[in-house]
Structure 1
Amino acid sequence: MKKTSLILITLLISIKASACSCEWSGNFLKIANNSELVIKGKIIEHNYHTENGKRFKDYDKYFEETLKNEFDPNYGTGESIKVEIIEIIKGKEERKIIEIFDTDGADCRASIREFKTGKTYVFATYKPRRTGIKLPNETENDYAIGSCYESTLEYLPNENKVFGMIKGKSYKRKNRKYSYEKLKCKIEKEN
């Protein structure tokens, strides 16, 4: 029992030590102006990845596969979403479908777990360009979204509006609805 407790404490300390630490650095409009690719896109699927290169659409099958790793603490897993590009607001991308990868906890990326399949969002993305370890199945052509700022807005198709922290300073942050067309014009005007 003592040994198990010591391992658990060591694991928690190492997770805490490698976790992302950053302050909120901007609303969506500010971040979009500095992003490589800003798109309106529809989530078409969630994928779960294992270190051995397998890719799962079904979470239960993915979970079964991770149990085979004999609880190796260095066994890598990951998650991604496939996004169908509806419109490119800023930047260039030839593909109609891109993949946005989740965080490993230390890289200051935003989690993608809450995005719903079938819903449309506006993303301010970047290519991670990691020199070290990548998430399983991640390539240099994949994207990420940051967690230290507002990188995503929900698109409301019935109103042609977006919802999120679109503008405002850190101490005045609040979610609001905003015209999608007006948002596009502001981003295009700045670039």
Structure 2
Amino acid sequence: MKKDTLKYIIFLVLGLYSTQSFACDCDCDGDCSFSSVSTGGLVALVKVIEYSEFLEFEDDGKLKKMPLAMKVEVIKKYKGEDTRKTIQIWGDNGMLCRPYTDNFKIGNHYLIAPNKIWNDSENGKKGDYDFFACEVGFLDVDLKKKMVYGAYAKNINEISFSKIETILSK
């Protein structure tokens, strides 16, 4: 019994240690709120329409899929040169310092200021987008309440949709 407990403890310690080696250690110098991050590139109101590109893995003998990317419909563009009505945004695979795609719910709206992907890789395609987990590149939008939630600016975690539209339209 002691031998099994010792094996379990060693396995647990090694598992925690190896997980930490891949963890994203964010250091944000200065203001990394949405108002600061959204000064260049694409800024848009989007609706998540589907998950795409999946990582397949086995868990308890069952094949499972984790979404690595999502397709979003651009409802309104505020800034940027991209003219597509649908864009793809890539998330984290467990080692990339990006938010996980399944944190974004299908059918929900978000205000986004993503980073453009400049080269093809297994973690994104040229012309697609991603978010950096250490910055606030997206905010939750509740169109029924006409409110936006998340770190818009320092000490502003909730703002009316009409106020943010006025700011972004300048």
- TM-score per shorter chain, which class? 0.7 to 0.9
Shift of 1:48: 4.7
CA RMSD, Structure 1 to Structure 2 (Å): 2.9
SS at match of 1:165: strand
Cα distance between partner residues in 2 of 1:177 and 1:152: 14
Deviating 4+ runs (over 3 angstroms)? 1-12, 128-131
Shift of 1:128: 3.7
The answer to whether structure 1 residue 100 and structure 2 residue 82 are counterparts is no
The answer to whether structure 1 residue 40 and structure 2 residue 45 are counterparts is yes
Greater fraction of residues in strand = 2
Q: Tell me the residue number matched to 1:18.
A: 22
Cα distance between partner residues in 1 of 2:99 and 2:145: 26
Q: Structure 1: give runs of 5+ residues left out of the alignment.
A: 51-64, 71-76
The number of aligned residues is 159
Q: TM-score, normalised by structure 1?
A: 0.68
> What percentage of residue pairs aligned between the two structures are identical?
26
SS at match of 2:100: coil
Q: 2:68 aligns with which of 79, 83, 87?
A: 79
CA distance 1:7–1:142, shift in 2 (3 Å): farther
SS at match of 2:57: helix
Q: 1:183 aligns with which of 158, 164, 169?
A: 164
- Greater relative contact order: 1 or 2 (C-alpha under 8 angstroms, separation 6 or more)? 1
Alpha-carbon contact 1:111-1:147 (below 8 Å) kept: no
Alpha-carbon contact 2:117-2:127 (below 8 Å) kept: no
The answer to whether structure 1 residue 110 and structure 2 residue 99 are counterparts is yes
